[in-house]
Structure 1
Amino acid sequence: MDLRQLRQFVAVAEELHFGRAAKRLHMTQPPLTMAIRQLEETLGAELFARTRRSVVLNPAGEALLPQARRLLAEAEQLGPLVRSAAAGQLGQLRLGFVSTVGYGPLPGWLKRFRETHPGVALSLKEATLDVQLEAFAAGEIDAGFVLHAPGAAPTGFQALPVMREPLVLALAADHALTRRPRLPLRDALGEPLVIFPRAITPSLYDAVLSLYSSHQAVPQIAQEAIQMQTIVNLVSAGMGVAWVPESVTRLQRPGVAYRPLAASGLACETSLIWPLQHRPVVDRFIDHVSLHGGATDARQPFQPHATRGTR
């Protein structure tokens, strides 16, 4: 049994006349009659009650007709389905992201992507850079937003920088330094430091410690924490000060004050990264983020400058 036989059966079932069905199918009647006989032999049951004057469906034919129509309709959808998948309009996108981009443009990007790509199922995984790299290696995510020092996106991936922002100093709200109208950088460098482990973003960790080294200061690391929210909570508890991306200030954690220190020169960058070999749906998401853009800082529109290579 093949789709052609099903089409022939449906034509006869709807016309209830072999001559009209043959004309509809652009064929002669004898081959159509033979095809129906072959279909009946394949199925092991007659489908029509035939007389010299009439052709009607019998119970077996009535049972087959809706199923045949369904199969033919599904077959017609195969072409559009395959073309949509090939164009990246259909499928699943598994996306990793760091928490800081969640405080910024990510929710808006995801909302618009769902609206414009309803056939793509989004799967989100909040994870730091080191965890995302493991997920890439295991084939568990397709793309990810990662945090790093400016210009230091992970090697071995294509990358689209989406956000660049300064690091600001987080202090306990009742810290003595918050009462000073101007906070000297050297005083900030003398405070106990709450920082993320080097493993989760080596380039940014090294940039922070390089700042201390360049000012002949030795960082007093009081505590390490993985999540930015945890770091801010530790600062509010008086464990020390912390250098955090400016977007973290949107947390508005009670008991924490933020102070920009332009003299530090510290900044971070968020990039969307993806493997050289990837599925078309990843390209659609890259194009979407490029189109809607992020922001290099809170004041200037972002100009995409991806190092995407040939896709």
Structure 2
Amino acid sequence: MELRHLRYFVTVAEELHFGRAASRLNIAQPPLSQQIRQLEDELGFPLLFRTKQRVELTEAGKVFLEECRLCLAHIDRAIDAAGRANKGEIGRLDIGFVGSATYSIVPFLQRYRLQYPSVSLMLHQMKTTNQIQALHDGRIHLAIVRTPIQSPFLTSKIILKERFIAALPQKHPLTRKRKLHMQDLAGEHFIISSRNNGSIYHDAVIQLCYKSGYRPNVSLEAPEILTIVAFVSEGMGVALVPDSFRNQKNKGVIYRDLEDVEPCLEMSLVWRNDEKSQVLNEFLKCIK
């Protein structure tokens, strides 16, 4: 039994006329009659009563018609779903990201979501080293990190460079200035991330201070940038955060631009060279 037999039968059952059914199917009437006979022979019982004047469904034919319709509808849905999956329009995309990139990735994800609303996005906040291991293990399709990764098995692409801005407690005297320079922060109590939780971000902050002629007075290290901003809001110190974090409207925190700081914090996408996910391919096209 083939799918065409089911489609042929449904058409004949709907028309109750072999001539009209053959016309709908764009085939000759004799081959159509032969196909229906073959289907009945395979089933072992008649589906149609045939006379010279009319064609009628048997009781078995009526039941078979409803089941065929359900079967064909399910197959049509399966074909449509498979076609959409082949185009990367449905499926699942697992993305790892470092905490400091949280607000940087939002515009990319929003753009992708508008274009591919049926794809399930699964986000995993992870350290860079854990993301790379997850890529190799096949647990994520894409890593979002703060530095390009050099590996013969991975592809890396820089998609964004951000500048740092200053995060200040709301009542800090420096909030009276609209813009700051790095030298304005000399002597302040800095809150930074632990190097164990993000060496790129940690080292970039330290280097900016050194270039401005001073060693930062680190009074507190926190595991995540969101925690850092929370401590700033409590007046425990100042911090340098990616420009995208100004979108986080924390109560008690004022953000100020740093005029002498150029974009230096890179955000890169990393994926396996042998990754075959069409969903990932479409994501990469979408964010170019």
The TM-score by the shorter chain falls in which range? 0.7 to 0.9
Counterparts of 1:1-311 in structure 2 under 5 Å? 1-18=1-18, 21=21, 26-27=27-28, 29=30, 32-33=32-33, 35-51=35-51, 53-75=53-75, 81-98=81-98, 101-103=101-103, 106-107=106-107, 109-146=108-145, 148=146, 152-156=147-151, 157-175=154-172, 185=182, 188-212=185-209, 217-263=214-260, 267-278=264-275, 279-290=277-288
Cα separation, partners in 2 of 1:250 and 1:3, compared to 1, 3 Å: closer
SS in 2 for 1:88: coil
CA contact (8 A) 2:178 2:256 kept: no
Aligned partner of residue 287 in structure 1, secondary structure: helix
In structure 2, C-alpha distance between the alignment counterparts of 1:15 and 1:186, rounded to whole Å: 86
Letter in 2 for 1:166: R
After superposition, what is the alpha-carbon deviation per residue over 1:110-144, rounded to whole angstroms, capped at 9, x for unaligned?
34433333443333344453453344334233224
Q: Secondary structure at the match of 1:9?
A: helix
- Following the alignment from structure 1 to structure 2, what is the Cα–Cα distance between the partners of residues 47 and 247? 68
Residue by residue, what CA displacement relative to the aligned partner does 1:221-268 show, whole Å, maximum 9, x if unpaired? 333223322101112333332221122233243333444444466731
Between stretches 279-288 and 10-19, larger displacement belongs to 10-19
Query: Cα RMSD (Å) of the superposition?
Result: 3.6
Amino acid at match of 1:165: E
Contact 1:207 1:266 in 2 (8 A): no
Instruction: State TM-score, norm by structure 2.
Output: 0.77
Deviation at 1:63, TM superposition (A): 1.2
Match of 1:304 in 2: none
Give yes or no for contact 1:130–1:199 (8 Å, CA) kept in 2: no
Q: Distance in 1 between matches of 2:211 and 2:38?
A: 87
Cα deviations by residue, 1:171-214 (Å, 9 ceiling, x for unpaired)? 33344555689967456343333211224432232233334555
CA contact (8 A) 2:180 2:257 kept: no
- What SS does the aligned partner of 1:158 have? strand
- Structure-1-length-normalised TM-score: 0.72
One-letter identity of the residue aligned with 1:196: S
Find the aligned partners of 1:254 and 1:4 in 2 and give their Cα distance. Answer: 66
Q: Residue 198 and residue 181 in structure 1: after superposition, are their counterparts in 2 closer, same or farther (change >3 A)?
A: same
